[in-house]
């Protein structure tokens, strides 16, 4: 349903992505792992439209969407949870969630999705009138995910959802990611926490300095010696 | 006591006008981090539109005010589209210099069309010309109208920013442009709306100043522009309540220094205050020093 072909991205003269290709099939969880600075976030930002590629193409549901903006891609059904959560800190939790559904007009659908988000993250309901900036890191991550779900995406792009969270919270976030996927949302997940990501992913790509160096199913990669050594701590 | 009260009334009237202008500065700064130097000239154009409506077309105050607001709204959006939008990704200083250019263009462009001479606003008549006296206390209907209109506009602004969809989009874009775009918000449209609202307020201020001081000229924007800018910085630039508080504060200072001290020192005191704020509380009265990034 989503595909990136020969994507090259530059920051000034620096080539951040050196012609990468990857595919996410309908209903899958695909993860992109790799060290800091490998180009994972850049890949995701190009997928969501925040960064324009120098060459290559981005396809969604059989359509070439390379030239579209991030805003247009939200309307098409792609939603990104950005790195570092990026919640609107001085706005309330409810306002943040409402902004997630900004382009939608179906009031009933929006309030239904709001209820769903509150079911998925009950803490957000308790905190709905609080400013988002006053939430803990884990709660902010949940808010960022809930906010992205409010656009009712078919493809959810997640950038480092485990960043800065306590291990117990990481477990919780990952199990929620699986729940979201089970309900029918396709997921592309960027993670530094390779072992957690590989556990829930159907397939995975490994990035190194702007290129994809390895790919396979989650379990295949978990068995791979190279991966064990480089990313799973032995 | 009566004298104090009188100064308070004068200060509130003058402060209203500064607050209206300061709002435009602060809203635009909040959303694209630009000190829009052309803003004070939008205010001047508003004064002229009001003047022509009232003296040539013999329209009443309210229709003239509305027309001036609409014209300024369109002008503000046009300035943003033509001058600032192409520079969206340019260095901050480039946009700043462009803003000064737009300001000069508007000032001398206006001078070309309407001549440099000072023009006199048509006097208000009937109920609007009345004054109320109690002892030595004098309140003119003009002052009541100025404060009344300002309060209505501020309430309206607060409603738009807090409750409406576009207001929420404006706050979202000013907090985090990328994240706002990921919500499916059109950043361009939101910026245009911000310019539209800020410029409409400046247009209203232009007409109100016309009826308050009676005389207008193409360079009338410069001094109040700087004072309104001080007001915005005083309250905390980028913060809407800050601009309101700052506007009234600057109005009060000006009136009290003139009333109790020496009107020659009026502006000196204002600039001294600006310097003091920049030293003691650079983020302004309501501003927090540098938002923490997690």
Q: Who wins on pLDDT, A120 or A223? A: A120
The whole-number average pLDDT for the span B60-74 is: 96
Is the minimum CB–CB distance between A74 and chain B shorter than 8 Å? yes
> Across the interface, do A71 and B169 touch by the CB < 8 Å criterion?
no
Query: Which residues of chain B lie closer than 8 angstroms to A103, CB-CB?
Result: 183-185
Closest CA to B68 of B241, B209, B263: B209
Q: Is the pLDDT confidence value at B179 over 80?
A: yes
- Choose, out of A94, A99, A139, the residue to mutate when testing the contact with B (most B CBs < 10 Å): A99
Q: How far apart are the first and last CA of chain B?
A: 52
Show which of residues 185-204 on chain A sit within 8 Å of chain B, judged by CB atoms: none
Q: What is the pLDDT of residues B161-173, one digit of tens each?
A: 999 999 999 999 9
Residue in the block written with tokens 């520079």: B87
pLDDT confidence of residue B135:
83
Give the integer Cα–Cα distance in Å for A220 and A32: 14
Tokens linked to B49: 């539109």
Per the CB < 8 Å rule, is A88 touching B175?
yes
Task: Calculate what percentage of chain B has a pLDDT beyond 70.
Answer: 98
* CB-based contact A112:A167 (threshold 8 Å): no
Helical pair B39-55 and B92-114, crossing angle rounded to 10 deg: 20
Of A99-113, A218-232, B22-36, B203-217, which range is least confident? A218-232
| Site from B30, B184, B193 to mutate, A interface, most A CB atoms within 10 angstroms | B184
For residue A90, the model assigns a pLDDT of 92
CB contact under 8 A, B183 and A69: no
Distance from CA of B179 to the nearest CA of A (A): 6
- Read off the DSSP letter of residue B263: G
Distances, alpha carbon A148 to alpha carbons A80, B53, B100, in Å: 6, 49, 40
Would an 8 Å CB–CB cutoff place A99 in contact with chain B?
Answer: yes
Contacts of A48 in chain B (CB under 8 A): 182
Structure tokens at B192: 């245009």
> Which DSSP helix (H) or strand (E) runs through B65?
helix B61-79
ipTM score for this prediction = 0.90
Query: Where would I find the beta strands (DSSP E) of B69-177?
Result: 119-120, 131-134, 137-140
- Tell me which residue in A69, A88, A90 faces B179 most closely, judged by beta carbons: A88
Cβ of residue A41 closer than 8 Å to a chain B Cβ: no
Tens digits of residue pLDDT in A9-64: 999 889 999 999 999 999 999 999 988 888 999 999 999 999 999 999 999 999 99
Confidence of residue A234 (pLDDT cuts 50, 70, 90): low
Burial zone of B136 (CB within 10 Å; 0-12 exposed, 13-18 middle, 19+ buried): exposed
Contact A98 B171 (CB under 8 A): no
Cβ(B8)–Cβ(B168) under 8 Å? no
Structure tokens at A118: 């509150």
Whether residue B140 is predicted with pLDDT greater than 60 in this model: the reply is yes
Query: Which of chain A's residues have a Cβ under 8 Å away from the Cβ of B184?
Result: 71, 74-75, 102-103, 151
What pLDDT is attached to residue B292?
45
B291 touches chain A (CB under 8 A): yes
How far B86 CA lies from chain A's nearest CA (Å)?
17
With beta carbons less than 8 A apart as the criterion, state whether A80 and B182 touch.
Answer: yes
Nearest CA-CA distance, residue A109 and chain B, Å? 17
**Looking at B70-84, B164-178, B262-276, B280-294, which range is the least confident one?**
B280-294
Pairwise CA distance, residues B170 & B164, whole Å: 10
* Cα distance between residue A133 and residue A205, in whole Å: 33
pTM: predicted TM-score of the whole model, two decimal places: 0.90
Mean pLDDT of all residues in chain B?
92
CATH superfamily to which A2-231 belongs: P-loop containing nucleotide triphosphate hydrolases (3.40.50.300)
For the residues A187-205, what does the mean pLDDT come to?
Answer: 92
User: How would you classify the pairing of strands A155-159 and B119-120?
Assistant: unpaired
Render the burial of B68-78: b for 16+ CB within 10 Å, e for the rest.
Answer: bbebbbebbbe
Cβ distance A74 to B186 less than 8 Å, yes or no, reads no
3-state helix, strand, coil in chain A (%, to 5): 40, 30, 30
Is residue B145 less than 8 Å (CB to CB) from chain A? no
Q: Which residues of chain A make contact with B180, given a CB cutoff of 8 A?
A: 88, 99
The average confidence (pLDDT) of chain A is 92
B-chain CB neighbours of A137 within 8 Å are: 294
Instruction: Say whether B172 and A88 touch across the interface (CB within 8 A).
Output: yes
Which residue among B171, B184, B291 places its CB closest to the CB of A102? B184
Residue B178 exposed, middle or buried by CB count within 10 Å (0-12, 13-18, 19+): middle
Model confidence at B293: pLDDT above 60: no
pLDDT over threshold 70, residue B182: yes
Q: Tokens standing for B196?
A: 């539209």
pLDDT given for residue B289 in this prediction: 60
Report pLDDT for A222.
82
- A79 three-state secondary structure: strand
CA dihedral A39, A41, A45, A48 (to 10 degrees): 120
Neighbours of A108 (CB within 10 A): 7
- Model confidence at B134, pLDDT cuts 50, 70, 90, reads confident
Query: What number of C-beta contacts closer than 8 Å exist between A and B?
Result: 70
State the average pLDDT over residues A87-107.
94
Provide the shortest C-alpha distance from residue A148 to chain B (in Å).
7
- Write out the E strands in chain B: 119-120, 131-134, 137-140, 215-216
Say whether pLDDT at B83 is over 80. yes
CB-side neighbour CA atoms (13 Å) of B137: 14
Q: What is the pLDDT of residue A225?
A: 79
Find all residues with CB under 8 Å of A229, minimum gap 6, and list them.
none
Predicted pLDDT of residue A20 = 93
**Stretch B233-260: mean pLDDT, rounded?**
92
Cα B275 to Cα A25, B2, B266, distances in angstroms: 60, 32, 15
φ, ψ of residue B168 to 5 degrees: the values are -65, -40
Would you state the pLDDT for residue A233? 66
b/e map A212-223, b = 16+ CB within 10 Å: bebbbebeebbe
CB contact under 8 A, B181 and A71: yes
């Amino acid at each position: 349903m989503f595909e990136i072909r020969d994507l090259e991205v530059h920051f000034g003269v620096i080539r951040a992505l050196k012609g990468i290709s990857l595919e996410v099939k309908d209903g899958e969880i695909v993860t992109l792992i790799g060290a800091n600075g490998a180009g994972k976030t850049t890949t995701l930002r190009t997928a969501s439209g925040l960064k324009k590629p120098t060459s290559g193409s981005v396809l969604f549901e059989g359509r070439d969407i390379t030239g579209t903006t991030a805003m247009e891609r939200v309307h098409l059904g792609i939603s990104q949870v950005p790195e570092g959560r990026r919640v609107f800190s001085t706005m309330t939790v409810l306002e943040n969630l409402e902004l997630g559904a900004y382009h939608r007009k179906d009031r009933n659908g929006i309030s239904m999705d709001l209820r769903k988000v509150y079911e998925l993250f009950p803490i957000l309901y308790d905190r709905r009138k609080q400013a988002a900036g006053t939430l803990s890191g884990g709660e902010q991550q949940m808010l960022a995910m809930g906010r992205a779900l409010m656009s009712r995406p078919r493809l959810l792009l997640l950038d480092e959802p485990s960043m800065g969270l306590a291990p117990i919270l990481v477990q919780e976030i990952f199990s929620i990611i699986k729940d979201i996927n089970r309900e029918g949302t396709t997921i592309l997940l960027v993670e530094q926490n390779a072992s957690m990501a590989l556990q829930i992913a159907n397939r995975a790509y490994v990035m190194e300095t702007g290129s994809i160096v390895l790919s396979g199913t989650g379990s295949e990669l978990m068995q791979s010696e190279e991966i064990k050594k480089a990313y799973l701590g032995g | 006591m009566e004298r104090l009260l009188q100064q308070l009334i004068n200060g509130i009237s003058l402060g209203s006008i500064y607050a209206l202008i300061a709002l435009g500065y602060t809203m635009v700064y909040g959303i694209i981090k630009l000190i829009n130097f052309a803003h004070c000239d939008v205010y001047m154009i508003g004064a002229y539109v009001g003047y022509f409506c009232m003296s040539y077309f013999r329209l009443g105050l309210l229709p003239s005010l509305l027309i001036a607001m609409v014209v300024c709204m369109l002008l503000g959006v046009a300035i943003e589209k033509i001058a600032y939008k192409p520079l969206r990704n340019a260095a901050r200083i480039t946009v700043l210099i462009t803003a000064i250019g737009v300001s000069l263009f508007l000032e001398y462009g206006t001078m070309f069309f309407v001549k440099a001479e000072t023009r006199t606003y048509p006097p208000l008549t009937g109920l609007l010309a009345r004054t109320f006296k109690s002892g030595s206390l004098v309140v003119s209907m003009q002052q009541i109208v100025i404060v009344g209109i300002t309060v209505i506009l501020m309430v309206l602004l607060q409603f738009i920013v807090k409750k409406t969809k576009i207001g929420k989009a404006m706050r979202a874009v000013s907090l985090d442009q990328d994240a706002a775009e990921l919500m499916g918000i059109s950043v361009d449209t939101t910026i245009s709306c911000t310019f539209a609202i800020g410029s409409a307020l400046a247009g209203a201020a232009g007409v109100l100043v016309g009826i308050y001081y009676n005389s207008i000229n193409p360079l009338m924007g410069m001094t109040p522009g700087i004072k309104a800018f001080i007001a915005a910085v005083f309250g905390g630039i980028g913060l809407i309540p800050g601009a309101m508080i700052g506007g009234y504060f600057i109005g009060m200072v000006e009136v009290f220094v003139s009333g109790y001290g020496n009107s020659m020192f009026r502006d000196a005191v204002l600039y001294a205050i600006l310097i003091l704020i920049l030293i003691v509380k650079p983020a302004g009265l309501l501003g927090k020093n540098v938002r923490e990034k997690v």
